[in-house]
């Protein structure tokens, strides 16, 4: 999500009391720790498979693009980009989709058959192994009501609430490539929209829990809709994991929120969506358990349009930024997740059972059984995973956790209780495809260093408006087994401009500068792709003046070399990344082009900041998925 929105409305309940350590000393100590194991030495000097893989791929072989403050999408000259799927475009369902109306006058029924707003995380699923024919699952994170409705938030109504809900959720589209150009297939049997009112089922330890029961669902097993779908994941058995991030902003809380509501950032008037005025389930005073039904990872089978999406409660209830899946050495599933708010935590879930052959049908319950852990980043580059299990580590009935279901509904409180490390807004997490090393973006935290919120080794900079990327290797000796309960960590990059006036805004980046890293993904050769989300409230201003619009970069994890690959149009966030299996095509999302600092556009002046991608005659800026390819048909990134 646009960071102005997240920064403005963060709950900021957590306090980190770790010791204040100076960054130069911290990194020096940490490097020495990493040199203590042969595996870590190999990782750093490049003799590990990581270094060898990158060398063979001739990393960063493209022409880097300069920073930009213009209203255009820019890629290297040897590449080209095609706009594939914009807000309001036809999803391609058999029933068809009405045309997008540039004045915002589409009805809520029409919006439910069209691409939602604010594309975010996504994944590509080839059909029958064909890299030129597949399904693209795409998140639609939130809405800008100034663009969504013809007159913005004037004359607020039930239909406007329904339209906003219809613009949330997920698209599943069938796409095919011919002669370098992709198109969305009409009349697809796979195509569907999942929205803020689509029926979903609940599974895992919190299914049927008293805290999930409502007047409309006394069993606590069925929920309407998924909201604020940010980053995503793709499982080894072929399903899509969509993640509910800032779901709290849709609820109007009680005038005096209780402790649990405060811990998740619920407020008396929410974030201004006004849904509670016409859909009372978002009025917490009337339905106090409804918020407990959001904040989950939702599993979707893209190949089966009849499948009911499933909220997997074993993975915990937080503001999920993503769900990146890996495998343990014995074949079990691991899901890495960040909680995107200041001073929140990083988690992983380890399944009880091994992944079975046979796709989703053979793994329907895999994410319902296992252990949820939260990370503690200790001093000198050591770390450990603490299990969030009822009856352990103080998670007992007398401490407010009656059973495992309550531990999961109150995941944040459980993580507080066991002493997890509070981070600087945990965003996307990526796992190296050969080494298993894990990278996580920590996008920023302007409150780091304030009294009671001191710096620590994992988050070493006060007023951390630039953010950083942290990396770790699982296992007490860096074994790389994702099932391990210990890990070794260090920083990969401290983002920022080396010429910045304040030391805390400078970076140690080896290559092109950037700030507020957010999206993160490895391609299968081991190149790391970094996407940024600088808030429009500070974009091209102050310390960010020399950084320009949001961008995507490519980095070599072995050397740290980083090069800018793409810059986005004015006011946008660059997010979402997926590849075809042969890496000849890359899919990237451009979210909220034209966003204003308030994140509420004036419907009378929709093009005040941007007219991308349709140009001056297009009416309104539109989030969109773009496809990027080398003009010579070669592998992307080399």
Find the DSSP H helices in 231-278: 259-263
**CB within 8 A of 549, min separation 6: which ones?**
67, 68, 69, 70, 534, 539, 540, 567, 568, 569, 570, 571, 572
Cα–Cα distances (Å) from 550 to 369, 499, 515, 531, in that order, read: 39, 19, 9, 8
The answer to whether 320 and 337 are in contact (CB under 8 A) is: yes
Query: Quick one: DSSP state of residue 219?
Result: T
Indicate whether 57 belongs to any domain: no
| Mean pLDDT calculated for residue range 104-109 | 98
**CB within 8 A of 275, min separation 6: which ones?**
161, 164, 165, 250, 282
For residue 353, pLDDT beyond 50 = yes
Lowest average pLDDT, out of 93-107, 171-185, 578-592, goes to: 93-107
What does the angle CA 483 – CA 486 – CA 492 come to, to the nearest 5 degrees? 100
CA distance 9 to 4: 8
Alpha-carbon 434 to chain mean position? 22
Q: Which residues pair with 570 in a beta bridge?
A: none
CA distance 435 to 220: 41
| Mean pLDDT calculated for residue range 391-415 | 98
| Mean pLDDT calculated for residue range 1-13 | 41
The answer to whether 473 and 480 are in contact (CB under 8 A) is: yes
What does the angle CA 242 – CA 480 – CA 125 come to, to the nearest 5 degrees? 30
For residue 59 the two structure tokens come to: 């990393």
Reading phi first (left if > 0) and then psi (alpha if -120 to 50, else beta), residue 556 is in: beta
Domain boundaries, position 274: 3-42+86-630
Indicate whether 61 belongs to any domain: no
Indicate whether 53 belongs to any domain: no
Rg (CA), the chain: 23
Q: What is the largest CA-CA distance in the chain?
A: 66
The answer to whether 62 and 76 are in contact (CB under 8 A) is: yes
Confidence tier at 45 by pLDDT (50, 70, 90): very low
* Selection from 11-15, 31-35, 36-40, 581-585 with the highest mean pLDDT: 581-585
Q: Specify the pLDDT at position 48.
A: 31
| Mean pLDDT calculated for residue range 159-186 | 97
Whichever domain contains 267, its CATH number is 2.120.10.30
Taking alpha carbons only, the member of 514, 461, 468 closest to residue 490 is 468
The tens digit of pLDDT for each residue in 435-456 reads 999 999 999 999 999 999 999 9
For residue 422, pLDDT beyond 70 = yes
Q: How far apart are the first and last CA of the chain?
A: 30
Indicate whether 606 belongs to any domain: yes
Matching residue, tokens 């007490």: 476
CA distance 121 to 298: 13
Q: Give the chain's count of helices (H) and strands (E).
A: 11, 31
Find the DSSP H helices in 57-157: 108-111, 145-148
CA distance 328 to 94: 40
CA distance 508 to 526: 21
Q: How many residues are listed for the chain in this entry?
A: 638
What's the mean pLDDT when you consider all of the chain?
91
Indicate whether 254 belongs to any domain: yes
Domain count, the chain: 1
Contacts within 8 Å (CB) and 24+ apart, 251-255: 251/276, 251/282, 251/283, 251/284, 251/290, 251/291, 252/276, 252/282, 252/283, 252/284, 252/285, 253/284, 253/285, 254/284, 254/285, 254/288, 255/285
Helices 23-34 and 38-45: angle between axes, nearest 10 degrees: 120
The answer to whether 139 and 227 are in contact (CB under 8 A) is: no
Q: Higher pLDDT residue, 21 or 628?
A: 628
Indicate whether 638 belongs to any domain: no
CA distance 214 to 275: 18
Torsion (CA) 473, 478, 480, 484 in degrees, nearest 10: -90
Count the neighbouring beta carbons within 10 Å of the beta carbon of residue 614.
17
Lowest average pLDDT, out of 46-55, 278-287, 416-425, 491-500, goes to: 46-55
Phi/psi at 81 (5° precision): -125, 140
Q: Specify the pLDDT at position 59.
A: 66
Reading phi first (left if > 0) and then psi (alpha if -120 to 50, else beta), residue 524 is in: alpha
Confidence tier at 57 by pLDDT (50, 70, 90): very low
The tens digit of pLDDT for each residue in 208-233 reads 999 999 999 999 999 999 999 999 99
Helices 49-56 and 38-45: angle between axes, nearest 10 degrees: 20
The answer to whether 436 and 1 are in contact (CB under 8 A) is: no
> H-helix or E-strand containing 175?
strand 169-178
Per residue in 563-589, is it b (16+ CB within 10 Å) or e — as a string?
A: bbbbbbbbbbbbbbbbbbeebbbbbbb
Query: Quick one: DSSP state of residue 267?
Result: B
CA distance 124 to 580: 7
CA distance 83 to 175: 13
The tens digit of pLDDT for each residue in 553-577 reads 999 999 999 999 999 999 999 999 9
The answer to whether 500 and 543 are in contact (CB under 8 A) is: yes
Q: Specify the pLDDT at position 53.
A: 34
Query: Is 256 buried (19+), middle (13-18) or exposed (0-12) by CB count in 10 A?
Result: exposed
Confidence tier at 126 by pLDDT (50, 70, 90): very high
Percent of the chain's residues with pLDDT above 70: 91
CA distance 28 to 476: 20
How much is the pTM? 0.93
The answer to whether 502 and 463 are in contact (CB under 8 A) is: yes
Sheet of 79-86, strands arranged across? 79-86, 624-630, 585-591, 573-579
Cα–Cα distances (Å) from 211 to 288, 293, 404, 408, 605, in that order, read: 9, 9, 12, 11, 44
Matching residue, tokens 């793709």: 234
For residue 37, pLDDT beyond 60 = no
């Amino acid at each position: 999500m646009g960071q102005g929105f997240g920064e403005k409305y963060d709950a900021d309940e957590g306090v980190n009391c770790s010791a204040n350590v100076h960054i130069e000393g911290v990194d020096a100590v940490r490097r020495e720790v990493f040199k203590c194991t042969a595996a870590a030495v190999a990782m750093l000097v490049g003799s590990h498979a990581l270094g060898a893989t990158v060398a063979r791929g001739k990393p960063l072989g493209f022409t880097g693009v300069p920073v930009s403050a213009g209203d255009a999408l820019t890629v290297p000259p040897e590449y080209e980009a095609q706009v594939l799927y914009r807000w309001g475009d036809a999803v391609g369902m058999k029933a068809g989709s009405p045309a997008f109306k540039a004045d915002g006058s589409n009805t809520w029924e029409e919006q439910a058959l069209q691409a939602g707003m604010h594309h975010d995380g996504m994944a590509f699923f080839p059909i029958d192994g064909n890299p030129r024919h597949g399904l693209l699952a795409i998140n639609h994170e939130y809405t800008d009501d100034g663009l969504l409705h013809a007159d913005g938030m004037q004359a607020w109504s039930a239909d406007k609430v329904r339209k906003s809900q219809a613009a949330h959720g997920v698209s599943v589209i069938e796409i095919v490539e011919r002669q370098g150009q992709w198109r969305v297939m009409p009349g697809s049997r796979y195509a569907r929209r999942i929205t803020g009112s689509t029926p979903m089922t609940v599974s895992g330890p919190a299914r049927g829990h008293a805290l999930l029961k409502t007047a409309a669902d006394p069993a606590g097993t069925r929920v309407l809709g998924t909201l604020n779908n940010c980053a995503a994941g793709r499982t080894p058995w072929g399903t899509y994991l969509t993640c509910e991030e800032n779901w709290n902003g849709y609820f109007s809380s009680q005038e005096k929120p209780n402790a649990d509501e405060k811990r998740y950032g619920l407020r008396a008037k929410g974030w201004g969506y006004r849904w509670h005025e016409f859909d009372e389930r978002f009025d917490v005073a009337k339905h106090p358990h409804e918020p407990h039904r959001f904040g989950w990872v939702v599993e979707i089978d893209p190949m089966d349009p009849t499948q009911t999406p499933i909220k997997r409660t074993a993975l915990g209830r937080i503001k999920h930024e993503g769900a990146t899946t890996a495998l343990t050495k014995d074949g079990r599933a691991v899901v890495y997740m960040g909680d995107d708010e200041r001073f929140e935590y990083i988690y992983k879930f380890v399944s009880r059972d091994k992944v079975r052959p046979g796709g989703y049908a053979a793994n329907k319950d895999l994410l319902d059984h296992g252990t949820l852990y939260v990370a503690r980043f200790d001093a000198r580059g050591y770390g450990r995973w603490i299990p969030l299990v009822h009856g352990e580590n103080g998670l007992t009935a007398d401490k407010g956790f009656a059973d495992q279901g309550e531990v999961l509904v109150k995941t944040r409180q459980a993580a507080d209780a066991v002493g997890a490390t509070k981070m600087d807004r945990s965003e996307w997490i990526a796992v190296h495809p050969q080494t298993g090393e894990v990278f996580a973006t920590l996008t920023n935290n302007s409150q780091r260093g304030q009294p009671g919120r001191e710096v620590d080794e994992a988050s070493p900079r006060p007023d951390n408006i630039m953010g950083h990327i942290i990396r770790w290797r699982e296992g007490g000796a860096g074994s790389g087994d994702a099932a391990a309960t210990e890990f070794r960590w260090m920083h990969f990059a401290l983002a920022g401009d080396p010429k910045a006036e304040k030391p805390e805004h400078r970076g140690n980046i080896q290559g092109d500068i950037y700030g507020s890293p957010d999206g993160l993904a490895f391609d299968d050769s081991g190149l790391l792709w970094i996407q940024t989300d600088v808030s429009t409230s500070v974009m091209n201003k102050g310390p960010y003046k020399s950084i320009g619009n949001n961008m995507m970069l490519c980095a070599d994890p072995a050397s740290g070399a980083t090069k800018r690959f793409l810059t986005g149009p004015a006011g946008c966030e660059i997010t979402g990344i997926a590849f075809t299996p042969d890496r000849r095509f890359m899919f990237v999302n451009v979210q909220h082009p034209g966003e204003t600092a308030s994140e509420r556009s004036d419907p009378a002046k929709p093009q005040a900041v941007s007219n991308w991608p349709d140009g001056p005659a297009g009416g309104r800026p539109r989030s969109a998925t773009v496809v990027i390819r080398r003009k010579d048909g070669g592998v992307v990134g080399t």
